[in-house]
Amino acid sequence: MRLGILTGMVSTEKKALATSMPGTRSDVVISENWQTSMEKIKIAEDLGYECVVVPESWQLSAIPWLSLIAEHTNKIQIGTSIINSFSRSPAALAQDYATLEIISEGRMILGIGSSSAAVVENYHGIPFKKPLRRLKEYTEIFNILISGEKLFYEGEIYNLTQGFSLRYDRPRDHVPVWIASLTPKSLEQSGEIADGIMPVHWPSTRMNELRQQLDIGAKKINRDVNEVTIAPHSHLFILDGNNDNEIWDEARRPLEMYINRMGNFYHEMMARTGWEKEVRASQDAFAKKDKDKAVQAISNEMVEEIQVIGTIEQIREKLQQRSDNGADLQIIYMPKGDPKIAGRLLEKLIS
C-alpha cells in the first residue's frame, strides 16, 4: 500500500486560507501555518510517504509553497493537486516547474485539471471553453518545454511557431503529469497523455473501472495502461466512540458540497457510479435552501463507499482494500494539530 499526503498553507495560525471554501465550516480545514505544515511534511517523508501535494483553488498560490517544500525535504516527491489549466499559460507553468526541478533535484509532479467554470470565469475572468482539449494541448506543450525540445506546436487552441526552448540544467527531461480526471472522455484522454490521474470522491469498489477507462485511450497509442498511476484522494474520518455521529456528518459535508457547489463533473460522476438517489435528494434539498437536509441526504452507505471512515484499525483495512481494488497510490489529507500527534497517526497508517 502506497500513500501520499495533501497539505495546505496559511498565513497565520488563526485564519485558514489555502483550502477554505465558501459555505464550509471554518474548523474543517487541512492547513495551518507553514512552519507547522513543514514539520509534518518532514515527518511524513521520514516515514516513507511517497509524495506531498498541495492545493491551490482560489486561494494562496501553490508555486512558492512548492519551492519551500523542495528546499526543506530530500526525497519525497512534490506536486500540486491541482493547478488549473486556464490561469497560467503552459509556458509560464513550465518555467515555474523548471525552477522547481532544479531546487528539488528532479522530484516534481505536475497535478493539473480544468477546475470549474465558476472558478475559471468568475475568479480568473477567462472563458471556460474546451476544457478537455485545453488539458491535452497544455500537457503536450508542457512536456515539449520540459524536455528541452524547440516549441513548435499547432493545435486548436495554441499555435506556437517560433521555436522557443526552455534552457536549464535538467535533472531529467520529463516531469510526471497527473490529471484530475473524472469523466469517461477525460479518463480515456488521460490514458493517452497522462502519467497519472488524481480522482476525487471516486467509489472504492469501482476503482477497477478507472483502469478500464484509461485503457481505452492507452490502446490508441499502443501503451501499457499500467504506466498510468491511479492516485485517488482518500479522505479519512476517524471514529473514537465519543462523537461518532458528528464525525459521520463531517464526512457527509464534503460530498454535499461537491454535489451542489462544485460544478457538474462531480455530481454527474457520483450519479454515474451508483449514487444517483442520494445526489438527486441532496440537490433537491439544496435548491430549497435546506442545507441540513442536503447533507443528511448523503447515506451512510455512500459515505462508506467514497470516504474512509472508521477506527484507526478499520481505516488501515479500508485503505488496503482501496489499494487492492486498484488505487496505486492514495493521497490522504494531512492530520490536523500538533506535529507529534499527527506523526503518530501517520505512522499507524503506513506501518
Question: Residue 33 has what pLDDT?
Answer: 82
pLDDT tens for each residue of 63-102: 999 999 999 999 999 999 989 999 999 999 999 999 999 9
From the list 80, 239, 77, 266, the residue with the least C-alpha distance to 172 is: 77
Buried b (16+ CB within 10 A) or exposed e, 167-203: eeebeeeebbbbbbbbbeebbbbbbbbbbbbbbbbbb
Domain ranges of the chain: 2-236+311-350, 240-310
pLDDT recorded at residue 119: 86
Tell me what pLDDT residue 11 has.
Answer: 44
Spatial CA neighbour of 55 closest among 110, 27, 90, 18: 18
* 309 closest CA partner among 298, 323, 295, 319: 319
Question: What's the pLDDT score for residue 25?
Answer: 34
Nearest to 319 by CA among 344, 349, 274, 343: 349
Please state which of the four CATH numbers 1.10.3720.10, 3.30.930.10, 3.30.1330.10, 3.20.20.30 is assigned to the domain occupying 2-236+311-350. 3.20.20.30
Of 55, 47, 116, 33, the residue nearest 75 (C-alpha) = 47
d(CA 211, CA 308): 21
Percent of the chain with pLDDT over 90: 84
Query: Pick from 14, 5, 67, 81: which is nearest to 41 by CA?
Result: 5
Q: Which residue is it, cell 457538474?
A: 264
- What span, in angstroms and rounded, lies between the C-alpha atoms of 304 and 347? 23
Roughly what angle, to the nearest 10 degrees, separates helices 34-47 and 339-350?
A: 30
What is the rounded average pLDDT of the residues 315-334? 96
Strand (E) positions, the chain?
2-6, 51-54, 77-80, 83-84, 108-113, 151-154, 159-164, 177-179, 196-197, 229-230, 233-234, 236-238, 308-310, 329-333
Read off the pTM: 0.91
User: Identity (one letter) of the amino acid at 251?
Assistant: A
Determine the Cα angle at 43 with ends 67 and 21, to 5°.
60
Q: What angle do CA 332, 337, 338 make, to 5 degrees?
A: 115
The residue ranking higher by pLDDT, 119 or 310, is: 310
Tens of pLDDT, residue by residue over 318-327, are 999 999 999 9
